[in-house]
Amino acid sequence: MPILFENATTDDDYTEVDWPGNRGGEFQLDGEFDGATVTVKLSLDKGVTYTEPPEGIGQFTSATAESLNVWAVCKIRATISGAGVSTDLTARID
């Protein structure tokens, strides 16, 4: 299960993970948000350029377990923005 970040407390672009493509998965996000937004970003060019999804898709402000269907070989990372004093988040893909 690739971990995008664990016990993250600050705004940042976190670790990228390789996605093998040709499969779906589940994006799991839990912890204390305290105003933070987590955005999933994808790169189809081996991590050179990351693209955010359209507004409202792939952006989370509360704990979730969402289907993540990515059929292309790519890199995935998650970004935290707007972290508060008590933000403490973990994101993984299963």
Global pTM reads: 0.84
Query: What tokens appear for 56 in the block?
Result: 């409202």
SS3 content of the chain, % helix, strand, coil (to 5): 0, 55, 45
Task: Give per-residue pLDDT as tens, 29-63.
Answer: 899 999 999 988 889 898 999 988 776 677 888 87
Kindly indicate the confidence band of residue 89, based on its pLDDT and cuts at 50, 70 and 90. very high
The answer to whether 4 touches 55, Cβ cutoff 8 Å, is no
Is the pLDDT reported for residue 65 higher than 70? no
